[in-house]
Amino acid sequence: MKDLNQEQSTIQSRKVYRNLITGGAGFLGSHLADKLMNAGQEVICLDNYFTGRKSNLKQWIGHPKFELIRHDVTEPITLEVDRIWHLACPASPVHYQFNPIKTAKTSFLGTYNMLGLARRVGARILLASTSEVYGDPEIHPQPESYRGCVNTLGIRSCYDEGKRIAETLCFDYQRMHNTQIRIMRIFNTYGPRMLPEDGRVVSNFIVQALRGKELTIYGDGQQTRSFCYVDDLIEGMILLMNGVHPGPINVGNPKEFTILELAEIIRKKLNPNLKFTNKPLPQDDPLQRQPVIDLAEKELGWEPKTNLEDGLEKTIEWFKSKLTGEDF
Ligand code: NAD
Ligand code: UDP
């Protein structure tokens, strides 16, 4: 597997790119900004702060190679950039269902605007797509060739169908305008800087456990997910952008857990006396999810390095420091 430090020094020795990160103040976007800035790249982060926070980027504010712009990707913008990392879109079901019409607009219009920008300035664009394009999958685990099983009418559709049309737009820009595209299908990723009220399962369980509250298990907890630590994911993202394969490429950790298993691990780490409480399974909640990562291994030389126990330790330490700090 290629080492990220090697990768970063390759970026450094090759060229300093002008990188635009949409959604740069969010969870993944701010970690990507850190990696690119630490590699000596120029970075412009753009965000409307719906689920992102300026504090995620405070370490770079004032740096000569860094800029932060408040902007909504549903509106066009003119910038001179070489690379567009298009991450802007709420990722947690709680947030993308808050205003589903806005989520669909962000997915379609946001991607359309960023592809238009990429075309105008000749930039390469990477789309942060998702395992949600597979919907509630009938094939398990999921390879990129699987076309998915998505309900067009349900409460997750604004996001799932939004990402599907975003992928379609990328390929149409490639076919019509030769735009250089990279599509990454991201599976559940966790780590420091998730919002405490983010609503996703890892942050929910950690925050509930740290606050001494019952862990909320939706349904019977037998549904599965595969959890990737953020550093691994960002490494895969950079390799995909720098490589030649347009994707789509699955990036995620193939080790699969039931939600109940995840709850047990976090309870054991933080407070074995905590209770579980069952809540209804949300509509269209996928029952199973696990990536096939053969393509990422072959094309990018990528596989995850961080196991769940180690990734959770780092995430728990971060939440502990924040829950007692003034940022919360
Ligand atoms: P996040 O919610 O932390 O980050 C999204 C960022 O986009 C936030 O900073 C938000 O304020 C910004 N944003 C939202 N709508 C915007 C708009 N209209 N204009 C400008 N900015 C806007 O989520 P994340 O986990 O960092 O996800 C980043 C990307 O990765 C998303 O596109 C998401 O769909 C994708 N993804 C993430 C995961 C995961 O597990 N983290 C899984 C699959 C896909
Ligand atoms: N989930 C849960 N309790 C929570 C939050 C989520 O049991 O407090 C479940 C949810 O129903 C889903 C899984 O955990 O089956 C992952 O949910 P998340 O929102 O993290 O991501 P996604 O469903 O988009 O994969």
The residue contributing the CA closest to ligand 1 atom 35 is: 128
Count of beta carbons in the 10 Å neighbourhood of residue 188 = 20
233-243 per-residue burial string, b: 16 or more CB within 10 A, e: under 16:
bbbbbbbbbbe
* Cα separation, 22 vs 45, whole angstroms: 6
Question: Distance, CA 216 to ligand 2 centroid (Å)?
Answer: 10
Average pLDDT, stretch 50-62?
97
Question: Which two tokens mark 63?
Answer: 């740096």
47 in contact with ligand 1, CB cutoff 6 A: yes
159 has catalytic annotation? yes
44 in contact with ligand 2, CB cutoff 6 A: no
* Amino acid at the residue 327: D
The residue contributing the CA closest to ligand 2 atom 11 is: 218
* Cα separation, 143 vs 249, whole angstroms: 9
pTM of this prediction?
A: 0.95
pLDDT band at 327 (very low <50, low <70, confident <90, very high): very low
The residue contributing the CA closest to ligand 1 atom 19 is: 72
Comparing CA positions, the residue from 327, 210, 180, 308 lying closest to residue 255 is 308
Q: For the chain, state the CA radius of gyration.
A: 19
Contact partners, residue 154, CB within 8 Å, separation at least 6 = 283, 284
* Cα separation, 253 vs 108, whole angstroms: 28
Count of beta carbons in the 10 Å neighbourhood of residue 61 = 12
Domains of the chain (ranges plus CATH)?
A: 2-188+228-252+291-305 (3.40.50.720)
Question: Distance, CA 167 to ligand 2 centroid (Å)?
Answer: 24
* Cα separation, 62 vs 134, whole angstroms: 41
Percent of the chain past pLDDT 90, that is, above it, reads 93
Bridge partners for 184 per DSSP = 128, 249
Question: Which two tokens mark 42?
Answer: 């120029």
For residue range 280-297, list pLDDT tens digits in order.
999 999 999 999 999 999
192 in contact with ligand 1, CB cutoff 6 A: no
Tokens 């053969």 -> residue: 294
For residue range 150-176, list pLDDT tens digits in order.
999 999 999 999 999 999 999 999 999
Q: Rounded to 5 degrees, what are φ and ψ at 209?
A: -65, -40
Task: Evaluate if residue 49 carries a pLDDT over 50.
Answer: yes
* Mean of all residue pLDDT scores within the chain: 95
